[in-house]
Amino acid sequence: MSRLILVLGDQLTRNLSALEDLGAGDVVLMAEVMEEASYVPHHPKKIAFLFAAMRKFAAGLREEGVEVRYVTLDDSENSGSITGELLRAAEAYGTDEVIVTQPGEWRLIEALDDCPLRLTQRPDTRFVAKRSEFETWAEGRSELRMEWFYREMRKKTGLLMDGDDPAGGQWNFDHDNRKANPGEIAYGGPMQFTPDEITEDVLDLVEARFGDNFGDLRPFWFATDQGEARRALTRFVKEALPLFGDYQDAMLDEEAFLYHGIIGLYLNAGLLEPLEVCRAAEEAYRSGDAPINAVEGFIRQIIGWREFIRGIYFLQGPDYAQRNELGHGRSLPDFYWGAETKMRCISRTVAQTRENAYAHHIQRLMVTGNFALLAGIEPQQVQHWYMSVYADAYEWVMSANVIGMSQFADGGLMASKPYVSSGNYIAKMSDYCKGCAYDVKTKVGEGACPFNLLYWAFLDRHRERFERNPRMAQMYATFDRMDEEKREAVLSEAETFLNRMAQGALV
Ligand code: DLZ
């Protein structure tokens, strides 16, 4: 009797654990379903990317001679859910045995657990660390810090290791990676691909069914198969990696990509694998084509941060994404969905997000994330936004990034202090402020930058929790040195700003 091998839209690699013992008689099931395509209003580029990549992956399996049952979204028999499609396929093939690689979201893991078939969820082996390995590492630690885990992963993989020592004599070159505005960018941006017939069909489908979602579907230029993704990686390593480190935290009004790779979406969907990506970067260092600060910073994102936040997601369990330790309850303002705002940093980050289904980590953390935290937006609404608008977003990657790192809603499990800053940081790292209606140098009164007002209001609101945090002592000392009248004016203006924002006024 045949087995059904379920391959999900973000599991597009031949090295998938579910496919490792694929045998004659097995049927691979892949399905475009409304439940996955609409559990958040995904950016249309993300849906198109996954559907096109799924169709091409299925075609590749068929070329190998594998029997594939591929259900398109517009199939009139489509049941609308993964479990519905499993049940339909089970009946069609007269089998109840299903193999799947464990999904990256508790939501789907639980749905599969409840599916009335003989279903095995195999571990996802596309990561450097097994879930159990992370659990063992985390056991007994009161604070989980990426740096210590990252060093373990360096030793485990041998990446950037000279014997027992880190290459370049240091584990972490983050201090060298904070240069501001690079001026003109000497890189043409990520490799872009012209849609072929398969992708064009998908674009028409997505336009018809998801055209009202936030985000521009066209121009569509993402890689949609492994070969294209590898070419995009090669171009990044050759042309952008050498300066990636220096300018990874910089932000420019007119430059969405700077020296960033835009390969997270390929990694998270299975088109690239973490070790091949890291080895390509290490090779550039070993051959003298890229400096250590760039290569170490890049590799840390992948075998450090990416593995770490996945570990936290699974360690913390399904309720983690519901945490709200700071008790924030404001609604996400409409300007996150493209409504007008006078704050240039936010309007540019949102505009680039709408165009590309992408913004880089500092835009996510220090512009949209920082503002949401300062303004006291409910973390679940923030998480919903990040899940919706980015092509690389799945819950395993977003939860710890948003709930933990960005919104401090886990109470400090993974960050020793909240990532808040006034307008100064944005002014230092970007050119946004010069085109802004507010003045970043004005701390209070007419034209004061909202980040400045909200920063102090955040510290005031959470004094009890953070005042004794040694990493925040300096902030409170500065706040407390402010004369009483100014402090009151700042807090009152912050309150007025938040009230106007809540009423939908142009802020
Ligand atoms: C994100 C996504 C979308 C938009 N559509 C599908 C789909 O139609 N079929 C599918 O198998 N997977 C899709 N995905 C990816 C899943 O949502 C993803 O596998 C889970 O969220 C777990 O990471």
**Ligand 1 atom 9 nearest Cα:** 32
DSSP 36-54: HHHSS---HHHHHHHHHHH
Q: Is the pLDDT confidence value at 246 over 90?
A: no
What per-residue confidence (pLDDT) applies to 471? 94
* Ligand 1 in reach of 104 Cβ (< 6 A): yes
What per-residue confidence (pLDDT) applies to 188? 86
**Ligand 1 atom 12 nearest Cα:** 9
CA 69, 75, 76, 80 torsion-angle sign = positive
DSSP 319-387: TGGG--TT---BPPPGGGGT---S-HHHHHHHHHHHHHS---HHIIIIIIIHHHHHHTB-HHHHHHHHH
At residue 125 the predicted structure's pLDDT band, cuts being 50, 70 and 90, is very high
**Ligand 1 atom 10 nearest Cα:** 9
What per-residue confidence (pLDDT) applies to 373? 98
- Which pair of tokens denotes residue 347? 């309007």
Q: Ligand 1 centre from 18 Cα, in Å? A: 16
What per-residue confidence (pLDDT) applies to 142? 79
* Ligand 1 in reach of 105 Cβ (< 6 A): yes
What per-residue confidence (pLDDT) applies to 184? 81
Q: Are 100 and 18 in contact (CB under 8 A)?
A: yes
Element (H, E) at 27: strand 27-31
Sequence-separated contacts (24+) of 127-130 with Cβ below 8 Å: 127/274, 127/307, 127/310, 128/153, 128/156, 128/157, 128/274, 128/275, 128/303, 128/307, 129/153, 129/156, 129/307, 129/311
In whole angstroms, what separates CA 272 from the centre of its chain? 16
What per-residue confidence (pLDDT) applies to 470? 94
Average pLDDT, the chain: 96
At residue 256 the predicted structure's pLDDT band, cuts being 50, 70 and 90, is very high
The pLDDT tens digits for 177-226 are 778 877 788 888 999 999 999 999 999 999 999 999 999 999 999 999 99
The pLDDT tens digits for 62-105 are 999 999 999 999 999 999 999 999 999 999 999 999 999 999 99
Residues 6+ apart with CB under 8 A from 463: 476
Residue extent(s) of CATH 1.10.579.10 domains in the chain? 334-502
Q: Ligand 1 centre from 395 Cα, in Å? A: 11
* Ligand 1 in reach of 450 Cβ (< 6 A): no
ipTM: 0.99
Architecture of the CATH domain 334-502: Orthogonal Bundle (1.10)
The pLDDT tens digits for 286-342 are 999 999 999 999 999 999 999 999 999 999 999 999 999 999 999 999 999 999 999
At residue 350 the predicted structure's pLDDT band, cuts being 50, 70 and 90, is very high
Higher pLDDT, 455 or 261: 455
Q: Are 243 and 187 in contact (CB under 8 A)?
A: yes
Residue extent(s) of CATH 1.25.40.80 domains in the chain? 131-196+226-311
What per-residue confidence (pLDDT) applies to 179? 85
- Which pair of tokens denotes residue 474? 């300096």
| Residue 143 CB-density burial (10 A; 0-12 exposed, 13-18 middle, 19+ buried) | exposed
**Ligand 1 atom 15 nearest Cα:** 9
Name the residue of 5, 6, 7, 8 to mutate for ligand 1: max ligand atoms within 8 A of Cβ. 8
Q: Ligand 1 centre from 175 Cα, in Å? A: 37
* Ligand 1 in reach of 259 Cβ (< 6 A): no
What per-residue confidence (pLDDT) applies to 321? 96
Name the residue of 36, 217, 271 to mutate for ligand 1: max ligand atoms within 8 A of Cβ. 36
Fold of the CATH domain 4-122: Rossmann fold (3.40.50)
What per-residue confidence (pLDDT) applies to 1? 67
Q: In ligand 1, which atom is closest to the CA atom of 396?
A: 23
* Ligand 1 in reach of 47 Cβ (< 6 A): yes
Q: What is the pTM of this model?
A: 0.97
Q: Ligand 1 centre from 10 Cα, in Å? A: 6
Q: Is the pLDDT confidence value at 488 over 80?
A: yes
Q: What is the mean pLDDT of residues 367-395?
A: 98
Q: In ligand 1, which atom is closest to the CA atom of 35?
A: 8
The pLDDT tens digits for 133-171 are 999 999 988 788 899 999 999 999 999 999 999 999 999
What per-residue confidence (pLDDT) applies to 166? 98
At residue 258 the predicted structure's pLDDT band, cuts being 50, 70 and 90, is very high
What per-residue confidence (pLDDT) applies to 175? 84
* Ligand 1 in reach of 8 Cβ (< 6 A): yes
* Ligand 1 in reach of 6 Cβ (< 6 A): no
The pLDDT tens digits for 6-53 are 999 999 999 999 999 999 999 999 999 999 999 999 999 999 999 999
Q: Decide if domain 131-196+226-311 falls under CATH 1.25.40.80.
A: yes
